[in-house]
Amino acid sequence: MLQTNLKHVESRNDFKNLIENNENVMICCGRMGPMCLPVYDVMEQLEQGEDYKHVSFRDMEFDSHDAAVIRELPETKGFMSLPFTVYFKNGKLVRATSSIQSSEQVTSILDEAFKK
């Protein structure tokens, strides 16, 4: 289990329910490692602020069996750095990034992909 303050996606079912029932979803799939922690930190902060209330922020343990739903997406093929971060709009994958991302990089994707 990841030790973050984000809600976790723990199974395939969780993942399916999440993207089917929420318009804007960002999931960071990683470990408690150096390149992942800064992304969780950015997400926790955005979740607490006022500007991204329309986005559901989650993380998922990269090594869990069910994280295959993210590891094996066609859009993450070729990714070779943790974390894999994926963005879903109305159940459809709209962006995916590999490796560490800054607050600015994350918010620019959120602003573009999940326009209010």
Partner 1 sequence: MQDQNYDAIILGGGPAGLTAGIYLSRAKLKTLILDQGIIGGQMVLSYEIANYPGVEKTTGFQLSNTMKKQAISFGCQIQSNVKITSIDFESETKKIEVNGNTTFHSKAIIIATGGKSRSLNIDGEDTFKGKGISYCATCDGDFFQDKKIIVVGGGNTALEEAVSLTKYAKKVSIVHQFDNFQALEHAVEEAEKNEKIEFVLESRITEFKGDDSLKSVMIENINTKEVREKSIDGVFIFIGYEANTNFLNNKCIKLNQWNEIEVNKNLQTNIEGVFAAGDACQKRYRQITTAVSDGTISALNTAEYILSKKGKLAESV
Give the binding site for partner 1 (CB under 8 A).
31-38, 41-42, 45, 77-82, 97-99, 102-104
CB of 3 vs partner 1, minimal distance in Å: 9
Write down the least CB distance from residue 17 to partner 1, Å.
Answer: 28
Q: Are 109 and 95 contacting, i.e. CB atoms less than 8 angstroms apart?
A: yes
Q: Within 13 Å and on the Cβ side, how many CA atoms surround 75? A: 14
Angle at 100 between CA 51 and CA 81, to 5 degrees: 140
Cβ closer to partner 1: 3 or 115? 3
Which lies closer to partner 1 via its Cβ, residue 83 or residue 114? 83
Of the pair 22, 98, the CB lying nearest partner 1 is at 98
Q: How many residues does the chain have?
A: 116
